Structure 1
Amino acid sequence: MKRIYFLVPGIETARTVVNDMLVARIPEKHIHILARRGTPLEELPEATMLQKSDFSPAVQRGLAMGGSVGILGGLIGLALSPGAAVIAGGILLASGLGGAGAGAWVGGMVGLTAGNTHLKAFEEAIEQGQMLVMLDVPRARVDEITERVRALHPQVQPHGADPDIPVFP
């Protein structure tokens, strides 16, 4: 999946873009609207904390770093315990999984408190009253959806796509 960004001038345009995306068979759970605080979105799908924060990238970084530290700790433990060589695989697996789990949890908690770094580029436009429409679409449909939005809504500004996003958020 890839996330595509579009800046729209107001709520009516956002509503028509969302309706057109539903017609294009993009599920509502893959459409996210970010607007200035206090803007009533009514039935539009508002971006959740997962889209507004750095949760997902932070979990991925924590998972990788925690797993690495866990395996390193397991190797050090094996080197210091002469009788542990018999169960070395189990020790490394347990320490790696434990470290990865702890790293993902800590990374997620830190990521929830940090704003999404990709959204910083849109802060000024959102504060001026524009709305950000984020669409999570299959990689193969990115060009098709971007062209559809351009053709149906010339006033909407496309702002590219993120690198691949994970499936779980």
Structure 2
Amino acid sequence: MRHRLYWLLPDLASARLAMDQLLLARIEHRHLHFHAREGTDLGSLHKASALQSSDLVSAAQRGLALGAALGAACGALFAVSPVLDEANKPALVAALAASGALFGAWTASMVGVSVPSRRLARFNWDIEHGMILLMADIPHRRVSEIEALMLAHNPEAHFEGHEPNVPSFP
């Protein structure tokens, strides 16, 4: 697991310097995500994807749960029908719950990708006023080292906290 550290950087030059320092500290490029105001050219900086900047993941999770519940409820309604064989009723409930979960996750993720992330809402004002948000996914054992490095080499960067338990793979 990793910790996601947040820094607000005042401009593109500062963001490039921060990226260079983190790359020299052997933080992989794929674990550095920069988020800026719409239309900002980040150049060679690794722009935050929809996974980091939208509500995609939490919307998909909510859709999965709601779809599974509604699918299971529909399956239960069909299961009380005298038309179906008793042996097929549990399979029908399970199939409709699974189908509902998949459909719910898919449709909710389509909506969630267009909604800004609630986790990043606290940075909206700063981003709209030209600052650049750096999200760095750091191994737990290196958090204090990277915080000290950023503070030493980027005095203009504002440390904005961290989020524990970010999965390692995205």
What TM-score results when the alignment is normalised by the length of structure 1? Answer: 0.85
CA distance in 2, matches of 1:131, 1:141: 23
Q: Match for residue 64 of structure 2? A: 63
C-alpha RMSD of matched pairs (Å) = 2.3
Asked if 2 retains the 8 angstrom alpha-carbon contact of 1:59 and 1:107, the reply is yes
Moved over 6 A (4+): none
For the residue of structure 2 that corresponds to 1:43, the secondary structure is coil
For the residue of structure 1 that corresponds to 2:137, the secondary structure is strand
C-alpha displacement of 1:165: 4.2
* % identity of equivalent residues: 36
User: Which amino acid is the alignment partner of residue 151 of structure 2?
Assistant: R
User: Which amino acid is the alignment partner of residue 120 of structure 1?
Assistant: A
User: Which amino acid is the alignment partner of residue 16 of structure 1?
Assistant: L
Cα deviations across residues 90-120 of structure 1 (Å, max 9, x unaligned)? 2222111101100001110110121112222
Structure 2: state its 5+ residue gaps. none
CA distance in 2, matches of 1:37, 1:54: 17
For the residue of structure 2 that corresponds to 1:113, the secondary structure is coil
For the residue of structure 2 that corresponds to 1:124, the secondary structure is helix
Asked if 2 retains the 8 angstrom alpha-carbon contact of 1:56 and 1:166, the reply is no
C-alpha displacement of 1:71: 1.7
Cα distance 1:38–1:106, how it changes in 2: closer, same or farther (>3 A)? Answer: closer
Residues 1:10 and 2:11 aligned together: yes
User: How many residues were matched structurally?
Assistant: 169
Report which stretch shifted further, 58-67 or 43-52: 43-52
CA distance in 1, matches of 2:148, 2:102: 41
Q: Match for residue 145 of structure 1? A: 146
Cα distance 1:61–1:138, how it changes in 2: closer, same or farther (>3 A)? Answer: farther
Q: Match for residue 118 of structure 1? A: 119
Q: Match for residue 133 of structure 2? A: 132
Report which stretch shifted further, 40-49 or 103-112: 40-49
CA distance in 1, matches of 2:75, 2:22: 50
Cα deviations across residues 62-111 of structure 1 (Å, max 9, x unaligned)? 11111122122222221224643212332222111101100001110110
Structure 1: state its 5+ residue gaps. none
For the residue of structure 2 that corresponds to 1:118, the secondary structure is coil
CA distance in 2, matches of 1:67, 1:166: 24
CA distance in 2, matches of 1:142, 1:62: 33
For the residue of structure 2 that corresponds to 1:114, the secondary structure is coil
